[in-house]
Amino acid sequence: MKPLKTTFAFALLALLSLQLTAFASEFRANPYLTKKFTLSGAGNLNVETSGSSVAVTGANGNEVVVDMYVKLDGREIEMEDAAVEKELENYNLDISQSGNTINLLVRRKMNSGRSKMNLSFKIKVPKEMSSKFQSSGGSIAIDGLNGKQEVETSGGSIQVLNSSGSVRTQSSGGSFRVENFKGNVDVETSGGSIKISQLTGDVQVGSSGGSVTLEEISGSIDANTSGGSIRAQLSEVEKSLTMKSSGGSITAVVPSGMGLNLDLSGGRVNSSLSNFDGEIKKDRILGKINGGGVPVTMQSSGGSINLEFN
């Protein structure tokens, strides 16, 4: 039998693979419409959509290319089509430039009935671009940007890859993933899993549900969840580590040999400590390792607390 951790890792990789495959399938066809713009500076991208998936990729240069993909009754439409044009009459669609801001606004008109059409967008922008998304559904992907990224969505997955700067998201549902990022990340979600890996910077997470996985983090962590487990693996603990849960276990893996101030409490607290000065109980550890230093706070109302060293 495979170890539980190995089985979970394979399951997580399979899930991420399915998400990426599903997102990539949005762009297998040729675009139905392409618009190009030229910027005179870093620029801003303003996106407001309802149900449309959007993928934004950073590139060299000062050009913005917006590709629109269309599916009608499940069919991919790659050229001008009368049925598509008629269906587009039910949308407020604006792809335009205002100074150094590119706008992508996609909304269905009131009382337009159920749509037979699905729109998705692939956008190439300068690497230093900042973006702001407001979405009521549909996945959002950002890759290779070095600016300030803000996302507000009521559903749909969010992923940010190979980027730097800052990320701030507010979501009512859908998974959130960040990988290979330099800068600060602030996540607030009412549901959906959170996975952040290979990050140099500070992480702040507030979740009402769903698991939180933080891997290869160099910086501070402040994670709070009303439900679901939290697991964090830190390459370095530079400022502070705070993780709190109203339910579910919390596990942290930190570098050995550091000076830490520990405040751990939960249904059961597990850790193998050396050079420790303080109080150890079944449900609480309070004291210092190696003379003290970086504050580490882990609290769970019902789940176990696990502090491990590598």
pLDDT for position 51: 86
- Per DSSP, what are the bridge partners of residue 83? none
Region 11-38: mean pLDDT is 65
Question: How do strand 148-153 and strand 176-189 relate by DSSP bridges?
Answer: unpaired
Average pLDDT taken over every residue of the chain: 89
Percent pLDDT > 90 in the chain is 76
Confidence (pTM): 0.87
Residue carrying the six token digits 């991919």 = 76
The pLDDT tens digits for 88-105 are: 999 999 999 999 999 999
- Judge contact between 296 and 310, C-beta under 8 A: no
Structure tokens, 81 = 């089509």
d(C-alpha 99, C-alpha 88), whole Å: 26
Q: Is the pLDDT of residue 3 over 90?
A: no
Q: What is the DSSP letter of 136?
A: S
Q: Where are the beta strands (DSSP E) in 112-157?
A: 117-126, 130-135, 140-143, 148-153
pLDDT for position 304: 96
Structure tokens, 127 = 């690497």
The pLDDT tens digits for 62-91 are: 999 999 999 999 899 988 899 999 999 999
Of 8-17, 41-50, 145-154, the range with the lowest mean pLDDT is 8-17
For residue 196, the tally of other CB atoms under 10 A from its CB is 26
The pLDDT tens digits for 121-166 are: 999 999 999 999 999 889 999 999 999 999 999 988 999 999 999 9
d(C-alpha 304, C-alpha 230), whole Å: 11
Q: Is the pLDDT of residue 6 over 70?
A: no
The pLDDT tens digits for 228-282 are: 899 999 988 888 999 999 989 999 999 999 999 999 999 999 999 999 999 999 9
3-state secondary structure 188-249: EECCCCEEEEEEECCEEEEECCCCEEEEEEEEEEEEEECCCCEEEEEEEEEEEEEEEECCCC
Residue carrying the six token digits 């530079």 = 238
pLDDT for position 26: 56
Q: Is the pLDDT of residue 24 over 60?
A: no
Query: 255-286 burial by CB neighbour count: b if 16+ within 10 A, else e?
Result: eeeeebbbbbbbeebebeeeebeeeeeeebbe
Region 55-66: mean pLDDT is 97
5 pLDDT tier (thresholds 50, 70, 90): very low
